[in-house]
Structure formats: C-alpha cells, structure tokens
A and B are shown apart, each in its own frame.
Chain A
Amino acid sequence: MRTRWLALAAGVLAGLMLGAGYAWLVRPARFADAVPATLRADFRDEYLALIASAYQASGDVSRAQARLALFADIAPEDLTALAARHALVHGADAAVRGLATLAAIESGPPSPTPASSATPTARARQTPLATFPLTVSPFPSAVPFTRVPPAATAMGSLRLLSRDEMCDPLVGLRLEVRVRTRSGAPAAGVEVRVRWPGGSDHFFTGLKPSMDAGYGDFAMDPDTDYQVEITGLALPATGIRAPACSRGAGSVYYGGVRLMFEGE
C-alpha cells in the first residue's frame, strides 16, 4: 500500500517537473505585452532618445513627461548620461538637445520660481503604467497639453552679458558657460562650440542640472586662446584664456572663466 502511494507521489512529482519544464523551457507563456521599462538596455536607450527627439520635434513637455514616467527608475542624471553617450555616437542631434532639456525639466527649477511658470515642471511620474496612454492621451478636449518650445529653438539671438575670471584652485581651468533666455530662465539644450588653434569641441547646457539648467562647462588648457560660440545664436566670444592667479608668496596657478549669455 505504502509502495503504491510512493509510486503515485513520484509519478505526480515527475509529471510536475515535466509540466513546469515544458511551460518554462519548451513553450513558455507567450509574452507580447511588454512595457517600455522592461526593454533591453540598448532598446531602452533608443526609446528614451526617441522620446527626446519627439519632444524636440513637438515641444510638448507634458507628453514627454508622461512618456518618461513609464520608466519609474529614470533620474535626470540618467538622461544627462544618455545625452552624453548619444552625442558621442550620433553627434549633436535632436535627441541630445531633447535629452538635455528634459533632464533639466525633470530636475526642476534651480531656484523658486513664480507659480505661473511652474506648470511645465509638474511631474507625471505617478502615472500608472497600465493606464498609459489612454488616461494621459492628448485628447484635445480632455487634457490641454502645455507647449513649451525647446529653449534653443525658442530663444532667438543671444548676447554675451558678462565675462568673469575665476581664481579658485578648486575650480581650476574650467570654462563655465551659463545661458539664459530673455526672461532670465536657464536655457538647457543649447549647443556651445569652443574653438582653439588647431581644434574645436562642443558641449550642451543642461547636462549638469545640479549646477543649473542653463549651465555647461569645458576643461581649458593653459596658455591657449579660445573662442566660444553659441551655435548660430550669438557672436563668438574671443580671446578666452585661463587667467594666471596668484596664491601669494609668488605661487601662481591657472583659474577659470565664466561666460554668461542672455537672450536679446
């Protein structure tokens, strides 16, 4: 009797293992309802870049934020890092500008702002995944989207507002660029080109949102003259050079330069 029960139990166990093996390995549950957050890392990056490109194209910040909310674990720093990686491979395309701008928006304003300008920073992170996009859909009558054109395209021309030398050993040979719109708001996603004899490079504002949404920087070499241009928006600032700063007792070190551009 005992043997029969044992045989039955062994049979059930073997069947269980066979069934589970079939269900897991041979014919797993068909999966066709993936959410963007489960995408493989490379597709996830591409998806985020597509969100940024679409934002750059449409200027619809609410929609971009709703899309970003699908990735619950994405922080502004992740967008910044992705912008840098994307720029290395694809250059300064719309996705890079969009990612920089979205990183700045997601990290919030650097300082308290009037209530009337706070709308675009409202987070959509609480949007339940399962209800997107229907509850966050752009039904024209239900959810009026806030249209906030990307700063770089909405700003018009810029002028160099100030140019200061910074003598701080901790800052070193840093070229800091801050860009503001005419209303004084930090402008993220603005391309800054730096040229020097025999070379050039570029960077974007907004990639270090912890500093300021309109901030970008560049490491200078000593004894080199630089020309800084906000691509297509401002006349180049020329003769930028790391200043020689005195620490006293004849000790000299190189400092940095801060440029402030503002919309006209």
Chain B
Amino acid sequence: MGVLLGLGYGWRVSPVRYVNTTPDLLRQDYRDDYVLMVAEVYAADHDLGLAAQYLSRLGASEMGTEVRDTAAHYTAAGYAESDLRKLYGLAADLENAFGSARGGP
C-alpha cells in the first residue's frame, strides 16, 4: 500500500519538474512550429546544412519524414499553401540529400 501511495505521489501529485529541457521533448504542436520555422528560414537562405542542424535537435531519425509529418498536421489544420509549400520543399531537399523519400505532394 505504501509503495502504491509513493508511486501515486511521485507520478501524479508531485512529479519530477523539468526545467532544462531539450527540443526533442517539445510538445507536438511546438515541435511542428519549430519545423515550420526551419522551413521558413530554409525557403529564404537555402542552407540545407543549417536546416538539418536545427532539425537534428528534435532527435528525429528521418528528418525528411519529420518535416512531412508536420506538413500533414498543418494540411489537416488548414494552414496556408505558402507554408505547406515551404515544408514540402524542405522535406524533398532533405530526402534528396539524405535519402528516405516518401510519398507526398
């Protein structure tokens, strides 16, 4: 009974409080917005190395897939076509450079 109480307290009542988190722990909507920012920057400077460096912070095994997933979320949410174009453009260039192409616009 004590163990159960302790687990409940540690997990529910007073869980470990995180303050120095890393980008790979970002909630999905923030993660998506992070990817969109990278795509916006990439659309302007075409620096794929810098974009990959930013995206590597998210810890995704396939960066192109990560960007495509974000594009899919934003397509469903009705984001502007210009945003989606930037995302798919970045995804395509990442896949061309690093492999792992997948279906999509």
Name A residues whose Cβ lies closer than 8 Å to a Cβ of B.
11-24, 28-29, 31-36, 38-41, 43, 46-47, 50-51, 53-54, 56-58, 67, 70, 94, 132-134, 137-141
Contact between B37 and A53, CB atoms less than 8 A apart: yes
B-side binding surface: helix, strand, loop or mixed?
A: helix
- B34 pairs with A31, CB closer than 8 A: no
| CB nearest to A9 among chain B residues | B2
Task: Report Cα–Cα, A134/B73, bound state, in Å.
Answer: 11
Selected from A18, A33, A46, A139, the residue in CB contact (under 8 A) with B77 is A139
Q: A43-B57, A94-B44, A138-B80 are in contact. Are A31 and B25 (CB under 8 A)?
A: yes
Q: How far is the CB of A65 from chain B (nearest CB, A)?
A: 13
Inter-chain contact A28/B15, CB cutoff 8 Å: yes
B interface residues (Cβ-Cβ under 8 A, vs A): 1-11, 15-16, 18-23, 25-27, 29-30, 32-34, 36-38, 40-41, 43-45, 54, 57, 77-80, 83
A54 touches B40 (CB 8 A): yes
Q: Contacts of B54 on A, CB cut-off 8 Å?
A: 46, 50
Indicate which residue in B7, B40, B45 contacts A19 across the interface (CB closer than 8 Å): B7
Q: Given the complex, which residues of B lie within 8 Å of A141, measured CB to CB?
A: 78
Question: Which residue of B5, B10, B21 is within 8 Å of A34 (Cβ)?
Answer: B21
B30 pairs with A40, CB closer than 8 A: no
Contact A94–B45 (Cβ < 8 Å): yes
Given A15-B1, A31-B16, A34-B21, A57 contacting B27 (CB threshold 8 A): no
